[in-house]
Amino acid sequence: MRKALSFSFIVVALILIQCKSVPLSGRSQLSLIGNDKIFPMSFDQYEQVKKESKIINGTDEARMIKRVGTRIQRAVEQYFREEGKPNYLSDYKWEYNLVDNDSTVNAWCMPGGKVAFYTGIMPICKDELGVAVVMGHEIAHAIANHGAERISTQYAAQAGLATVSILLTGGGSGPSIPAEVIMQGAGAATSLGILAFSRKHESESDKLGLYFMAMAGYNPQEAPKFWERMAANSGGEAPPEFTSTHPSHDTRISDLKANMPKAMEYYRKSQ
């Protein structure tokens, strides 16, 4: 009995050690895998997507995607510098591309800052502010390491006690997680084969995305309007994060409004 108790104490302690906290939200998340393992795979996958898709270059829209992305990137880098964490984003290799695909109402940012917008989402974005809403939200998924967290929780659930034994015996490098588990968890890039982020992750990205667009000098009050337009859009092949049920539309709008005062502080500071 005593042995069992001390064993579970060790397990709990190990899990706590393997947690880190999400920037800005402060939420604690399980982290069994580092970005040094995820980013190279993510970058390979992004190259694959670029090969298999028609990337648009040189148009006003394509330039706008790069402009908005770079502006939010710089604002986020500035934020981490001011927080005393200048190296937080040092392994990122930012890239912003527009994919020619009118039937896909989607955009994503893979771990490490690899962004794609599909032309199908552009009419709902409507203008640069709408693009900034989506860009902020997608970049927030990456900055908050939602991919790594999903891999970690999936792996912990699948491996169960095996993970614990690896943690108990393993060295400083952590458990060796099979490549396919990593790909699955990080896999934003398989165009429509996207795994839905949890409601918790969506809400967190809404909040951080709102702050990020505001830090970049885009008026965050545009965000609820964008999600209204998205909810009204019933056609197209939108992934769950862009549909009105996930999180529920009303919750999404009221949460955005609750976070608006803080976002407006960032916005005023950026002006």
Task: List residues binding Zn ion (CB under 5 A).
Answer: 202, 205, 241
- Output the smallest distance, CB 238 to Zn ion, in A: 11
241-267 b/e (C-beta count within 10 Å ≥ 16 → b): bbebebbebeebbebbeebbeebeebb
CA 67 – CA 183 distance, rounded (Å): 29
> Smaller CB distance to Zn ion: residue 95 or 138?
138
Tokens of 107: 């955009």
- Output the smallest distance, CB 256 to Zn ion, in A: 13
Residue nearest to Zn ion (CB): 241
> Smaller CB distance to Zn ion: residue 95 or 241?
241
> Smaller CB distance to Zn ion: residue 222 or 241?
241
β-pairing verdict for 107-110 and 114-118:
antiparallel
**95 flagged as catalytic:** no
- Output the smallest distance, CB 201 to Zn ion, in A: 7
Residues 6+ apart with CB under 8 A from 175: 32, 33, 155, 159, 163, 166, 167
- Output the smallest distance, CB 205 to Zn ion, in A: 5
> Smaller CB distance to Zn ion: residue 244 or 270?
244
Radius of gyration of the chain (CA): 19
Tokens of 256: 């955005």
Among residues 138, 149, 204, 222, the one annotated as catalytic is 138
Question: Element (H or E) spanning 123, and its range?
Answer: helix 122-125
Question: What residues act catalytically?
Answer: 138
